[in-house]
Structure 1
Amino acid sequence: MSELRTDEEQAEIIKKWWSENGTGLLATAAVAVAGVTGWNYWQDQKVATGEAASATYSQLVELAAQENQDNATEMQALAEQLKTEFASTAYADFGSLFIARLAAQSGDYEAAAAELKTLITEADSGAVKSLAQARLATVLVQLDRADEALAALPPSADAAFAPQIEEARGDALYRKGQLADAREAYQRAMEAARTLGQTNSTLQRKIDTLNTGGEDA
């Protein structure tokens, strides 16, 4: 599968996207509920739930960083906890991303695809949806369903997720044997990554291989 940044790094990207795009939405929501009885209680409960969800997510990320297969069962349980106990928070979506990741790592690409398809349908955040679309395409390529992978990707993406979207597009096009188009997609991914100040050695290797006429991207 394509080399993906850790889920912790992806979470930071989503938080940055939200800070830049979600302020107006938060303000609207605040105005809508201002003055309602129990506002302070609701706010306190929301903060407490968010803190608990964040702690659970942090524990999950720490286990993932250890790259220990023995942690898979505990990681699965924490990811499921994020989805069920903290369904009202953004961390529930991160739980779904982790569940799909664990399924893919175990070779169960069908389960990973199913989880990501559900997340794409239900996610409120455009940022989460973009990330899930990129990962779904990557999983579908592994299942040798390149056409479906291409259909899962948006024609364009928010700049924060363009590297993942375009790299996944390149992988699908490569699998179809459309090498020139794959090279262009990889190059778009690299340009987008550089704009964001990111490096991706795996992506660069894919570009180099195609530039030299190789077949193993």
Structure 2
Amino acid sequence: MELYDTEEQQVEAIKDWWKENGKSVILGAVIGLGGLFGWRYYQDSVTTAQETASESYSKAVQQLAENNTEGEAALQAFIDANNESQYAVLAALQLAKVQVEAGEFDEALAQLEWAKSATEDQALSSVITFRLARLKLEQSDFDAALAELSSITDESWSGRVAELKGDILLRKGDSEGAYTAYVEAQQAEDVSQTLQMKLDDLAK
């Protein structure tokens, strides 16, 4: 660092430095503050969009509960308008559930397939994949159902996956394979209350 003999020299040095670097400092400050406020604006925009989507999702689900026909249309409209939001994925799950209950399996399958492709959330993906497997079982598409199950790698699902695998194999006529899958499911922490009944029925 340079040492100045007098205050006047210090002042002159500062003036000279400012002439050379002042514009850069101001520009840097403007860019920095602009970036800060821009980031805050972006975050506020994202938060607002999420809150709006959440509110719209709640209204659409409520409408579905009150009136199935109009509610389904409202929920589908919400999905189409918010297809990049995770709320749209949740809405698709709700709509698929109603369609399954109405026996509209192909429509429900399309909703679940879209939901699976639209989410990167591993936990949610496991839920969707499991429902896809159950639905394909209902359609007697056994091999496709087994393929769906094999893609679930989350250990917390191991019991449910093994039990559903047993259900699929049983429907395919593979009683021995079903029994093996049920025994495997019995070792998991997420064992169901109906599993023992299934094992007992096969043991008869």
Q: Same fold (TM over 0.5)?
A: yes
TM norm structure 1: 0.64
Separation in 2, partners of 1:155, 1:54: 30
Q: How does 1:21-170 map to 2 (within 5 A)?
A: 35=35, 38-59=38-59, 71-170=67-166
1:172–1:213 Cα change, 3 Å? closer
* Structure number with higher helix proportion: 2
Indicate the SS of the match to 1:47. Answer: helix
**Higher mean displacement: 43-52 or 72-81:** 72-81
Separation in 2, partners of 1:192, 1:58: 33
The alpha carbon displacement at 1:131 in A equals 1.3
Separation in 2, partners of 1:126, 1:83: 20
Deviations 1:154-212 (A, max 9, x none): 25521344444333323212211223433443454452316xxxxxxxx4324313324
1:45–1:160 Cα change, 3 Å? farther
Cα contact 1:162–1:189 (8 A) shared by 2: yes
Indicate the SS of the match to 1:38. Answer: helix
Segments of structure 1 that go 5 or more residues without pairing to the other structure are 1-34, 195-202
Aligned equivalent of 1:28: none
**Higher mean displacement: 83-92 or 39-48:** 83-92
Q: How does 1:7-18 map to 2 (within 5 A)?
A: none
Correspondence 1:213 to 2:187: no
Q: Which has the larger radius of gyration?
A: 2
Correspondence 1:204 to 2:193: yes
Correspondence 1:192 to 2:189: yes
Identity of aligned residues (%): 28
Residue type of the alignment partner of 2:189: A
Cα contact 1:150–1:169 (8 A) shared by 2: yes
Segments of structure 2 that go 5 or more residues without pairing to the other structure are 1-34
RMSD (Å) for aligned C-alpha atoms: 2.9
Indicate the SS of the match to 2:173. Answer: coil
The alpha carbon displacement at 1:143 in A equals 0.8
Cα contact 2:89–2:118 (8 A) shared by 1: no
Aligned equivalent of 1:12: none
Aligned equivalent of 1:173: 169
TM norm structure 2: 0.67
Q: More relative contact order in 1 or in 2 (CA 8 Å, sep 6+)? A: 1
Residue type of the alignment partner of 1:122: A
